[in-house]
Amino acid sequence: MGEQPVTLQFDNNALLARLVGDHDRHLRCLEEGLDVEVARRGNRISIRGVPAHTSLARQTLSALYQKLAAGETIDTSTVEAIIRMSRMHESRSPATPARTSAPDTLPDDGDLPQIRMRHGTIEPRSPGQAIYMKALARKELVFGIGPAGTGKTYLAVAQAVAMLQAGSIDRIILSRPAVEAGERLGFLPGDMKDKIDPYLRPLYDALHDMLPGDQVMRRMASGDIEVAPLAFMRGRTLSHAFIILDEAQNTTIAQMKMFLTRLGPGSRMVVTGDLTQIDLPDGTISGLHDAVETLENVKGVTITRFDATDVVRHKLVARIIEAYDAKAATSRTPSRNKGRQEKNGTAK
């Protein structure tokens, strides 16, 4: 790279050591994420690459340094999150398709949404998360659709807990369809609760990340928090509640309609799912797929779509998702061509 390097100077050596990480691992992460060369000499960091990338790297390092100066800690996942957010405006061009069906674009002044918890603040770790968090804070019915690892359910639970603690709602209701994904419920040990609990475990895990364990149990005992299979929602009208349906791709059309019509006065509803992970029997249409098509343009409904760039788990997870998506796309193309040939009478 022959471009003129950008040089940053940092006065606090203790913060600088935490900024670069053990064996400069954070700088190596920056190099890989933004396709630049980064070198440290004393209290200076030089960045070399194409101007657009060096500018993003400079913004990323400055943002990380400010976090450290404010007393926060950073790790590799924090660096990767800042890189994703730094690239947000670069990727938002007029040719980029909308990621939400409602006008919930992010402000250009850098004022990103936050979920304020008693133990701290949750900030978006990808552009898709930022749009989703804005919708969660403002809208009555939100769909979050995309691959695993994008924070769809986690952020919804966080928003629910924040609103419960603030007194904006009276209770949280978390639900999942108990659909078998290759295993048989009847062969699981225990009574019905024991058989169902494994399907609800991810929701319990998210709750325990937000609240102390004793408070979760106390609130569940009092009815402030309810975790239940989707079948338990039938016949109810849920008022002044924050209701989350997870793994919604495994609902039928009738189940989805039943769930959506449970929305009562003063309530919020969030529906999350991954349309590439449907475990319904062959020939059964996913209620989530049908709902997205049916409600796409309905006023008051916000549909946020995540993709592999929003995966906030290990970066290899995003690459795995992209590889599967690419394979699925190529496998669909020959079948379309075959269909056209048969229609035209050209197939051999």
* Per-residue pLDDT tens digits for 227-267: 888 888 888 889 999 999 999 999 999 999 999 999 999 99
Give the Cα separation of 160 and 130 in Å (integer).
16
Give the Cα separation of 181 and 104 in Å (integer).
34
Give the Cα separation of 143 and 154 in Å (integer).
14
Q: Which two tokens stand for residue 197?
A: 């609990």
Residue 136 pLDDT: 95
Give the Cα separation of 146 and 294 in Å (integer).
18
Strand locations in 14-167, DSSP E? Answer: 37-41, 44-48, 115-117, 120-122, 141-145
Residue 348 pLDDT: 39
Hey, what domains does the chain have and what are their CATH numbers?
A: 6-86 (3.30.1370.10), 115-313 (3.40.50.300)
Residue 70 pLDDT: 86
Residue 164 pLDDT: 93
> Exposed, middle or buried: residue 26 (CB in 10 Å: 0-12, 13-18, 19+)?
buried
- By the 8 A CB rule, do 306 and 128 touch? yes
Q: Which secondary structure element, helix H or strand E, spans residue 271, and what is its range? A: strand 268-273
CA 269 to mean position of chain CA atoms: 16
Residue 107 pLDDT: 44
Residue 100 pLDDT: 63
Complete DSSP assignment for 202-260: HHHHHHHHHS-HHHHHHHHHHTSEEEEEGGGGTT--B-SEEEEE-SGGGS-HHHHHHHH
Residue 333 pLDDT: 56
Residue 83 pLDDT: 81
CA 204 to mean position of chain CA atoms: 17
Low-confidence stretches of the chain (pLDDT beneath 70): 1-3, 87-112, 118-119, 179-199, 332-348
Backbone angles phi, psi at 60, to 5 degrees: -65, -50
Among candidates 122, 128, 123, which has minimal Cα distance to 100? 128
Residue 318 pLDDT: 74
- By the 8 A CB rule, do 181 and 279 touch? yes
Residue 199 pLDDT: 63
Residue 108 pLDDT: 44
